A and B are shown apart, each in its own frame.
Chain A
Amino acid sequence: MENLMFLAPELAVVATGLIVLLIGVFMSPQTKNMLGYLATLGVLAALALTIQSFGTEATMFFGTLSIDALSQFFKLVFLAVSLIVSLASIKYNENSDHTEEFYSLVLFATFGMMVVASANDLILLFCAFELASLATFALAGFEKRNARSLEGAMKYFIIGAISSALMLFGISYVYGATGTTSIPMIAENATLLAENPIGLVAVVLLIAGFGFKMALVPFHMWAPDAYQGSPSVVSSLLAAGSKKMGFVAAFRVFIVALAALQPDWQLAFTILAVVTMTFGNVVAVSQTSVKRMLAYSSLAQAGYIAMAFVVMTPMALTGGIFYTLAHAFMKAGAFIAAGAVVWMITSQKTGNLDIPDHLDSFRGLGKRMPLAALCMTVFVFALAGIPPTAGFMAKLVLFSSTIQAGMTWLAVIAILNSALSLFYYARLVRYMYFLPPEGKKIGMPFPYAAALLLAVAGVLAMGIWPEPFMQWAMDAAQVLI
């Protein structure tokens, strides 16, 4: 009999999702608010169980699931995002008729991501990938009367379906050449694939499949539309959470299973990383919708993290993994802050109602919603990599590992990109603090405030006292080497 205790965090999430869905049916819209607190508690419990299980190693279900430092680290990332999102969604779902559906979708998506983190078999990995994707497709189009939301969801779904097909295609090649779908077994037989010219095609197809989630250029096309159109809490889940699912899958599949094809995918990631970070930062400069700007900034950040695949030293992997957690806090927080502003604009019914997240809505935010403005400032400074924030630490480790590995040119590109990114981040801060407000001061709803403070705490903790996080990331990187 398998020891199901290893799966306690996943089980807690699924159980909460089912309970929320069930009891929600019997509740009136006024009392459904408590479902949000219930979901938050469930995620919190799963988070505690995950942290408590740090250091355990096990394989389950005939070697298809692996519990190790890497999986636990990424579960921490997903659960942290999920916690922030569920908390903030309490306000978003206020007086909604579909609260139970919303939360169960968030929880099922989280569950899918957690299984991806542990998956040690390509079939399981694919199924979990799809579970998370399907749940997020529905979430992206949750505002069914909002054309922008529907459009984003539609694009996300279609591109997602194509990417799934490409990924499955790639998996079939891998299976065809090596005769197995188990990741450790593929690693043993990967030379078969490396000798075969089809190996390169398989690698690129898999990169396309994962690159869709990671939002690497040119597989990113859906991201700006979806991030802008979706409700902010969902954008937060997509950008901060499900994007990392692509990374953990790529870490396991490329570095562990397909180590024999390292020259191929290393080169492919080099091209993608450079193109993605440059494209993301350059295009972000001209955006006037803040959520769209954050989407392009999120591309750029994915480009930085992808550098870990290029450098491939233990320190670079540590840096890349550390970066995923740092990015989870910064990006989740930034989208929630944008969500608070959208809520302010729509509930006040003044300003640009067509594009409520327009830069103009952020004018004088320092006076209208001081807390949101302060938190947003912390997040964008962290994204730009200014100390003492998580973003600075992540960039420091990642970039210096790049220089150490002798790839100074790559580090120079990345640093120039960071410098460019400061332009549009600082512009947002200027709008919030140096331009006069257009409207009166608004009280901050508690759920938004709590979620923002949680994210700020994460960003600052990782920046000021990075030791434990760095240690976890280092342990996770050890799994890969």
Chain B
Amino acid sequence: MVKTALEDFAFLIPLLPALAFVITFFFGRKMPSGGAIVPILAIAASFVISLMITLGLLENPGEVVSQSYSWFAVLNIGILIDPLAAVMLSMVSFVSLLIHIYAVSYMSHDPGKARYFAETALFTAAMLSLVLSDNILQLFVSWELVGLCSYLLIGFWFEKPSAAAAAKKAFLTTRIGDVMFLTGIIVLTSDLLKLAGGFQDGVYLLRFDEIFSYIPQLAALQANILGFEVSHLTLITLLFFGGAVGKSGQFPLHVWLPDAMEGPTTVSALIHAATMVTAGVYLVARTFPMFIAAPDSLLVVAYLGGFTALFAGTMGIVMNDLKRVLAFSTISQLGYMMLGLGLGSAIGLEAVGISIFHLINHAFFKALLFLCAGSVIHAVGTQDMRELGGVGKVMPITAATMTIAALALAGFGIPGTSIGTSGFFSKDAIIEAAYLFGEHSNNWIPYVFSIAAALLTSIYIFRLIFMTFTGKPRSDYHGHESPAIMTIPLSILALFALVFGGLTKTGFMSFLEETFANSFVNIDIGSLAVIGQNELVEAAGHEPVFVLWLPLIVAVVGLAVAFVIYYLRIVELGPIASMKNPIYRLLYKRYYQHEIYTEFFSLGIVYGVIAFFSQVLDVIVDSIVEGIGILTVGASEELRKIQTGVVQSYATAVILGVSLLIILVKLIMEVL
């Protein structure tokens, strides 16, 4: 049978890019164009396998690919390709393939290109293995590995101090999230061991189906934190979400993502737009049954996601750096995806569908936006929009494809029909779900956030388009259209940004809803929602017409505003967009996060305290010990010879320690 034969090759999906990493790492330097052909072929093969498995799944969504091997004790390594994993695998391998092809030309002048291709191949392998993990530990290991690759690639030009600093910042900031994620896994493991009654042979405790089967018991465990009774499940899911906040650049851990733009643009497109940053969204979607059964968790996700979408948008409209605008846009769109998942507290499993739908569409148009920006930077040599202008004349293909991506990001389309860009269908689905949520729970905050963010999105992206491609050149540059090896990936992505959403919108959602009902797991989301005290909407009514049209209206308004200010230049922005205006300064300085996080908190408090104690403790202990030594020995002449003096005080410390320990133990035993 063809299908079984295909499953047997599933392990090759992450393995081939990993092999490509090894080959490129050792021999890339001796090969033409840094050995790029090896990862390209490997990833192409991964893509073909992923796509064929996905097509097989589409015909028969109930029969998922699931293979597990014992690792040690109750842990296993394994592969799970269900609808959720299948679409992610296809998207990741496809986008990665296109970006690798594009990078052959983009990186052609860089002496370190062999290292570049080795690292991106390793990244792709880790990302694919993250997606197809069938247990939370393997997912975490891959999670760390993609983080490492991201660190290496942000600091790819490590001789630039700003790049090295950005890499460090990204590593440290995401690490805060990673520690939370790991803590969540540890709590989960210890709970599961308790519930399962210890180790059992042949049971893989951390595999998702096992975890999900314990959800009711986990929800029943209560912990007392600061006086609040919290369900263990809420604790675990919020810790997982903490990991997702770090990885997916949600407020307040988003600060690393704009700085991550110090890496090559292709890296920004691959890692910091299309794939790695969506790992947090994927994690929440993957463990969605846990989130929906945990009281309050999804609300936190929804609020934080909606807030991030709006918050990042406000900073996007004042940035002057092409890539920074796109970075804030990415944060904002990731906020939408999180919001979509959070709305699951009202719309149930459909939330996974709309959120992942937006994730996939976003991957296409955001990768396209970055690659177009890369094309401009490659040709013109600057990424400051104030020095650009009129680039559309010299780079028509880039301008056209970037405009398509912008339309998709702003969400242009005709409501009620199948005509529209990809972003239109998925973003509107989230906004409509937010409306439904508002109607259902009388809580309109997510809806207001999402509409306001949609307006800002439209303004900042068309500001970017007008400032870059129209008008007269504002500096002396010599541009030329990029070679075909760069423009062909652009055109392919543009095609997807334009039609993918419209073609797949109905099938996609119903396909993803099979994720938790198949041969691997079979979960009744409705009953889990009851455990989590989430009331699901029974039957969705028809939204009023204005709800369907409002997102498009704000997008058009945004376009009009940008057109008036940045194309016609009727309104003079001088006094408003100056550092004298406190609001503009606040936005431009990104709400002073750098000052607050790095200079005040990290350097001032944490580092200061540690450095202080590290020095002081050493001195204090030494001086106490030596002081007592002086008293005990009583002969200061002896102390002149430091050696003997110190040894005596060392001995004093030993005796003192013994006495103190006896007294302490005795005292505590008496008190208890």
Residues of A within 8 A of B (CB): 151, 154-155, 158-159, 162-163, 166, 200-201, 204-205, 207-208, 212, 217-219, 221-222, 263-264, 267-268, 271-272, 279, 282-283, 285-286, 386-388, 396, 399-400, 403-404, 411, 415, 419-420, 423, 434, 465-467, 470
Contact = CB atoms under 8 A, between A and B. Distances in A.
A151 B611 CA distance: 28
A22 B190 CA distance: 56
Shortest Cβ-Cβ A-B pairs, 6 listed: A218-B657, A221-B650, A467-B72, A286-B614, A285-B614, A404-B190
Given A282-B613, A283-B614, A466-B72, A399 B654 contact: no
A264 B664 CA distance: 11
B5 interface: no
B113 to A, nearest CB: 20
Given A282-B617, A387-B141, A208 B650 contact: no
Contacts of B186: 396, 399-400, 403, 411
Contact of B658 (A205, A217, A388): A205
Given A163-B654, A200-B665, A154 B189 contact: no
B611 A470 contact: no
Given A283-B614, A466-B72, A162 B651 contact: yes
B190 A400 contact: yes
Report which residue of B141, B617, B651, B661 has the largest number of chain A beta carbons within 10 angstroms of its beta carbon.
Answer: B661
A466 B72 CA distance: 7
22 contacts: A159-B651, A162-B651, A166-B658, A200-B662, A217-B657, A218-B654, A218-B656, A221-B625, A221-B653, A267-B665, A267-B668, A271-B664, A282-B613, A286-B615, A386-B144, A400-B189, A403-B187, A415-B183, A419-B179, A423-B610, A434-B164, A467-B73
Given A268-B661, A404-B194, 13 more contacts: A151-B643, A154-B643, A155-B643, A159-B654, A200-B665, A207-B661, A218-B654, A219-B654, A219-B657, A282-B613, A285-B611, A415-B179, A467-B73
Nearest to A464: B71
Interface string B443-469: 000000000000000000000000000
A162 B650 CA distance: 10
A212 B654 contact: yes
Given A208-B654, A263-B669, A264-B665, A159 B617 contact: no
B666 interface: yes
B647 A155 contact: yes
A319 B669 CA distance: 27
Given A263-B669, A404-B194, A218 B618 contact: no
A268 B194 CA distance: 28
Contacts of A159: 647, 650-651, 654
A400 B182 CA distance: 11
Contacts of A282: 610, 613-614, 617
B665 A268 contact: yes
B193 interface: yes
A204 B654 contact: no
A423 B171 CA distance: 13
A222 B651 CA distance: 9
A218 B646 contact: no
Q: Interface residues of A: mostly helix, strand, loop or mixed?
A: helix
Interface string B225-248: 000000000000000000000000
B158 interface: yes
Interface in B631-672: 643, 646-647, 650-651, 653-658, 660-662, 664-666, 668-669
Contact of B653 (A218, A419, A420): A218
Nearest to A158: B647
A344 to B, nearest CB: 24
Nearest to A416: B179
Interface string B565-606: 000000000000000000000000000000000000000000
Given A166-B658, A208-B658, A387-B141, A470 B651 contact: no
Nearest to B650: A221
B261 to A, nearest CB: 21
Q: How large is the interface on B (under 10, 10 to 19, 20 to 34, 35 or more residues)?
A: 35 or more
A303 to B, nearest CB: 15
Interface in B130-178: 141, 144, 158, 164
A456 B618 CA distance: 32
Nearest to A396: B186
Contacts of A155: 643, 646-647, 650
B129 to A, nearest CB: 13
B9 to A, nearest CB: 24
Contacts of A400: 186, 189-190
A387 B148 CA distance: 12
Given A208-B657, A267-B669, A286-B615, A158 B651 contact: yes
Contacts of B651: 158-159, 162
A217 B657 CA distance: 8
Given A271-B664, A271-B665, A285-B610, A470 B158 contact: no
B669 A286 contact: no
Contact of B618 (A219, A267, A286): A286
Contacts of B656: 218
A154 B647 contact: yes
B222 to A, nearest CB: 14
Given A163-B654, A218-B656, A283 B662 contact: no
Contacts of B657: 208, 217-219
Given A154-B643, A403-B187, A470-B73, A283 B665 contact: no
Interface in B261-306: none
Contacts of A267: 665, 668-669
A340 to B, nearest CB: 24
A387 B668 CA distance: 38
A467 B77 CA distance: 14
Contacts of A163: 654
Nearest to B613: A282
Nearest to A436: B159
Interface in B447-495: none
Given A282-B610, A285-B611, A420-B610, A222 B650 contact: yes
Report which residue of A264, A386, A403, A423 has the largest number of chain B beta carbons within 10 angstroms of its beta carbon.
Answer: A403
Given A387-B141, A399-B186, A470-B73, A162 B654 contact: yes
A404 B617 CA distance: 33
Contacts of A466: 72
B665 A387 contact: no
Nearest to B646: A155
A396 B137 CA distance: 11
Contacts of A158: 647, 650-651
Contact of B662 (A204, A218, A388, A403): A204
A88 B144 CA distance: 34
Contacts of A221: 625, 650, 653-654
A205 B189 CA distance: 38
Contacts of A467: 71-73
Nearest to A404: B190
B155 to A, nearest CB: 9
Contacts of A268: 661, 664-665
B586 to A, nearest CB: 33
A437 to B, nearest CB: 14
Contacts of B141: 387-388
Contacts of B669: 263-264, 267
Contacts of A285: 610-611, 614
Nearest to A264: B665
Contact of A283 (B72, B144, B187, B617): B617
Given A282-B614, A404-B190, A434 B158 contact: yes
B624 to A, nearest CB: 11
A219 B650 CA distance: 8
B72 A465 contact: yes
Nearest to B148: A386
Report which residue of B141, B158, B190, B666 has the largest number of chain A beta carbons within 10 angstroms of its beta carbon.
Answer: B190
Contacts of A423: 610
Contact of B666 (A200, A388, A399, A415): A200
